[in-house]
A = this chain, B = another copy of it.
Amino acid sequence: MTNVDARAQEMEEALRAEGVRVTRQRTALLQVLAEALDHPDANELHRRAQEVDDTVSLATVYRTLSVLEDQGVIHRHAFEGGGARFEAADMPHHDHLIDLDTGAVVEFRSDKIEQLQAEIAREHGYEVVHHRLELYCRKRETKD
């Protein structure tokens, strides 16, 4: 749990460094984001943040998520179905594999794929600013 605090700290500092005010509500949300092992949506983040500080409103969650995204402190994902989902940005870059049956998200990384993407873009006269790679999967049949 101590590492969680360190992550929350860092995010807070990143905000202060940019002159963004760190309010009680923002602290609560940062803590929740630092603790999250999954990719919660705004509603779920609101629910969790209220357990820390019950003055946090959903509107503030949305506003703060936008600020955090602008500051590069979190990433916003738009997986299939439902609304946006979020995660702290202090992890090395990765893509996502989504379990179609459970909704679970597995993170993975492939330098080869990244490289191929850059090549493709270049061939078309473009530069990749960012990308989205999501694998919607089902557990493999296991002969039981």
Contacts and interface: CB of A to CB of B under 8 A. Distances in A.
Interface of A: 78, 80, 97, 99-100, 106, 108, 110, 112-113, 116-117, 120-122, 124-140
Q: Is the interface of A mostly helix, strand, loop or mixed?
A: strand
A108 B126 CA distance: 13
A74 to B, nearest CB: 16
Copies in the assembly, this chain: 2
A110 B106 contact: no
A62 B100 CA distance: 24
The 4 nearest A-B residue pairs measured at CB: A126-B137, A132-B134, A131-B135, A133-B133
A132 B126 contact: no
Given A126-B137, A129-B136, A132-B133, 16 more contacts: A97-B120, A97-B121, A106-B124, A110-B116, A112-B116, A116-B116, A122-B140, A125-B139, A125-B140, A126-B138, A126-B139, A127-B138, A128-B136, A128-B137, A132-B134, A132-B136
A109 B42 CA distance: 34
A131 to B, nearest CB: 5
